[in-house]
């Protein structure tokens, strides 16, 4: 059997053995992010205390990249076009904090390092920076990793790092031998000027691909190995991945290996030291590996509702009981509820937490229909409010 097909079959069997049915293998799963913005007492939108628009811009980048539809993916060489994968992993902002209280800024936790007594990370070398993050900043700011994927945005200036991530623990991926996350350090770190694609970013890493790369690590993917040996993921082409590409042109003849004239797949998100404009794909093999890591290591996020239902956790009576269907939907969405009031508010939010639809219903009789058919395909949240009660349900528009 073709080695790529053998690899894929092996992983599929592994996924099925841990409880995923064939239909669920590539169902869409969400990763709720809480983004800890570490700043130096600046006002919001100034310096390290990033503008909300810059923070929000990264969500659309991640979701496009992980869907195989990111910026510049049309540049893919025809020989590898069939390998571009949709991972069916969607990133959303957390909507509530660890106490179940609605966040005023979805997905964001702004932290003044001065008020915490934390040192200036901008002056640290890479070894000291990672040690300080793991021993001080992360343990003092991390949110429950069973419910949130934690992200830290900070100044990595002197370290030379653009980002780094923990690897998934107990993933079953044989190439992971260290650097795994735990309850006090699991998550992703990104240089504050490499997050998003607008405002305070720095070229050539100003299109959000640092975060895409680091979430690849968080989901178990390694860098490509140097030299002309086989990669650990079988559908990665053989080539000399020398990690000094910057902005190469296909085919990278200087880095070809005997019998492999196409050269390295330098446009892969996990190829290191490439400009943001020149990386734009995961392969199917990588998508399957990430799926295994998600299930084995971050499976608790499948049960987390911090990115889908908002309310005060200590007051469960504040939830509204309502349903949305069909799900997935073409955009015509039916809402049913046994709420006793005729006056309700219905709102639809996109994956960035932006309102795309709002209606005040003054004669609700148990059901209503809203039309989102003109909205882009993707993940949305339907919010229903009545008096002091609120709930949100997620729905996919296809």
Q: Are 207 and 58 in contact (CB under 8 A)?
A: no
Given CA atoms 104, 110, 114, 115 in this order, what sign does their dihedral have?
positive
Given CA atoms 330, 106, 161, 178 in this order, what sign does their dihedral have?
negative
Backbone angles phi, psi at 382, to 5 degrees: -100, 120
Cβ-Cβ contacts under 8 Å for 28 (sequence gap 6 or more) = 88, 89, 90, 379, 396
d(CA 311, CA 313): 6
**CA-wise closest residue to 189 among 241, 126, 244:** 126
**CA-wise closest residue to 271 among 281, 261, 262:** 281
For the chain, percent helix, then strand, then coil, each to nearest 5? 25, 25, 50
CA distances from 114 to 121, 160, 184, 213, 292 (A): 12, 23, 21, 30, 40
| H or E element, residue 361 | strand 355-361
Catalytic pick from 214, 345, 354, 383? Answer: 214
Q: Has 383 been annotated as catalytic?
A: no
Active site residues: 214
């Amino acid at each position: 059997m073709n080695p790529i097909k053998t690899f894929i079959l092996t992983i599929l069997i592994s996924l099925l053995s841990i409880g995923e049915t064939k239909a669920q293998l590539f169902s869409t799963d969400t990763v709720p992010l809480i983004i800890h913005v570490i700043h130096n007492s600046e006002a919001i939108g100034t310096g390290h205390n990033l503008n909300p628009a810059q923070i929000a811009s990264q969500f659309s980048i991640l979701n496009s990249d992980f869907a195989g539809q990111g910026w510049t993916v049309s540049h893919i060489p025809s020989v590898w076009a069939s390998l571009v994968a949709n991972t069916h992993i969607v990133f959303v902002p957390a909507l509530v904090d660890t106490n179940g209280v609605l966040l005023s800024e979805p997905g964001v936790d702004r932290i003044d390092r001065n008020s915490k007594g934390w040192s200036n990370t901008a002056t640290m070398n890479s070894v000291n920076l990672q040690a300080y993050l793991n021993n001080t900043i992360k343990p003092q700011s991390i949110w429950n990793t069973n419910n949130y994927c934690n992200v830290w945005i900070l100044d990595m200036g002197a370290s030379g790092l653009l980002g780094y991530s923990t690897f998934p623990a107990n993933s079953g991926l044989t190439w992971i031998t260290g650097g795994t996350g735990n309850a006090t350090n699991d998550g992703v770190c990104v240089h504050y000027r490499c997050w998003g694609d607008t405002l305070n970013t720095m070229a050539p890493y100003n299109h959000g691909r640092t975060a895409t790369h680091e979430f690849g690590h968080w989901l178990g993917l390694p860098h490509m190995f140097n030299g002309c040996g086989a990669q650990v993921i079988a559908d990665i082409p053989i080539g000399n991945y020398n990690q000094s590409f910057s902005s190469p042109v296909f085919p990278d003849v200087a880095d070809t290996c005997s019998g492999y004239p196409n050269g390295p797949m330098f446009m892969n998100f996990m190829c290191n030291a490439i400009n943001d404009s020149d990386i734009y794909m995961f392969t199917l093999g990588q998508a399957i590996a990430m799926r295994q890591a998600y299930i084995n290591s971050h499976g608790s996020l499948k049960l987390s509702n911090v990115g889908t239902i908002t309310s005060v956790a200590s007051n469960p009576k504040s939830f509204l009981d309502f349903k949305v269907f069909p799900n997935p939907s073409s955009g015509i969405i039916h809402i049913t509820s046994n709420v006793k009031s005729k006056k309700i508010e219905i709102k639809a939010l996109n994956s960035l937490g932006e309102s795309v639809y709002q209606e005040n219903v003054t004669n609700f009789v148990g059901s209503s229909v809203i039309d989102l058919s003109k909205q882009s395909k993707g993940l949305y949240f339907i919010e229903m409010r009545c008096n002091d009660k609120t709930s949100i349900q997620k729905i996919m528009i296809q």
